Amino acid sequence: MKIFNKEPSFDFMGKRKLALIVSILLVILSMASLATRGLNFGIDFTGGTLIEVGYENSADLTEVRATLESAGYGDAITQHFGSSKDVLIRVPPHEGMSNADLSTGVLNALHGASDSDEIEMRRVEFVGPQVGEELTEQGGLAMIYALFGILIYITLRFEKRFAVGSVTALIHDVVITLGIFSVLQLQFDLTTLAAILAVIGYSLNDTIVVFDRIRENFRKMRKGSPVEVSNRSINQMLSRTLVTSLTTLFVLIALFVLGGEIIHSFATALIIGVVVGTYSSVYVASATALALGVSKQDLMPVKKEGEDEPDVLGDQP
C-alpha cells in the first residue's frame, strides 16, 4: 500500500542550501561539545567494577543511589537488570581500592541500609583501564575501516562522486549522533558503539536505494537537469523511505520504553541515527553528489567497441 496516491513533487533539492547550513551548524555544535565535554564513557571504556546484586523484594533505585552516595560511591551508576529485584551497579575505579574492596564496600553499604539480609551478590566483573583504552582505540578503528570500505564499495558500484556523498552523509550521521550523546551526557558503552555501527549500515542502505533510483532515472530521462532528476528520484522513493523509517522507529521506541534502563543508550543511539540517517540520505548524500558535479554522462553505461555498428552479415540471406 502506498502512502501517496500519486507521485509527490516536493522540491527537496531546492532547499539543499538551507539543509546544508543546518547540517554544518549541527556538526560544528557536535564537534564543539565532543571537544569540550567529551563522551560519558561507561566502564567498558574507562575501567571499573560491575556488581550485580539481587533483592528479596523490588529495589528502589533512588534509595540505592542515596545509600551508595552516603557511603562514598556517589559516582556509581545503578540500574535494574532483568527485573525490579535485580540491580546492576557500575563503579568507576577508586584510587587505593582493589576490586575486592570495592565490591565488599558496596555490598556492606547496601546491607547496612536495608532491613532485610536477603541481598545476594550475583556477580562481580572487573574491567581494567588498559582494557578500556584498547576498546576505545579498536572501536574508533572499526568505524574508520567501515567508512573506508564503504567508500571503495560505492565507487565501484556507482561513481566516485556518489561515493564521496555517501561517506559524507555517514560521517555527518555519526558526528551528530555522538554530539547529542555528548551534549546530554548519556552513557556511552559497547552497546552504544554497536548502535553507532548499525546506524552506519542503516543510513548506507537508505542512501544506496536513493542512488539506485537516481542512476536509473539519469539513464531513462532524456531531458532534465541533475537537480530535477535527483528531485524526482527522491520523491519516487519517499513512500518507501517513510515506511521503512517509521516502522524501524516504532520498534526502537518500544525497546526504549519497555526494554529497561540497560538498553536505553542502545535504543537512543538508534533512534537518533534513524532520524538523522533518513535526513542525510535525502539531503546530504544527494546534495554532495550534485555539488561535486555528477551528471548523466558519469552514469551512462560504457558502450563496447563496435556495439553501434550495423550487423552487415545479419542482413544477408
Which among 149, 145, 170 has a CA at the least distance from the CA of 27?
170
Give the range among 125-134, 183-192, 210-219 with minimum mean pLDDT. 125-134
Q: How many CB atoms lie within 10 A of CB 43?
A: 22
Domain ranges of the chain: 13-39+131-299, 48-127
Residue 177 contacts residue 199 (beta carbons within 8 Å) = yes
Give the tens place of pLDDT for each residue, 196-253.
888 888 888 888 888 888 888 877 776 777 788 888 888 888 888 888 889 989 999 9
Q: How far apart are CA 229 and CA 239, in angstroms?
A: 17
Domain 48-127: assigned CATH number: 3.30.70.3400
pLDDT at 31 over 50: yes
pLDDT of residue 131: 63
Q: How many CB atoms lie within 10 A of CB 281?
A: 28
Mean pLDDT over 272-289 rounds to 87
- Band of pLDDT at residue 316, cut at 50, 70 and 90: very low
> Taken in order 91, 93, 95, 97, is the CA torsion positive or negative?
positive
Grid cell listed for 205: 542502505
Size (the chain), residues = 317
Task: Indicate the CATH number of 13-39+131-299 among 1.20.150.20, 3.30.470.20, 1.25.40.10, 1.20.1640.10.
Answer: 1.20.1640.10
pLDDT of residue 281: 84
Which among 284, 43, 27, 272 has a CA at the least distance from the CA of 167?
284
What is the pTM (predicted TM-score) of this model?
0.76
Q: How far apart are CA 116 and CA 109, in angstroms?
A: 13
- Band of pLDDT at residue 311, cut at 50, 70 and 90: very low
pLDDT of residue 5: 53
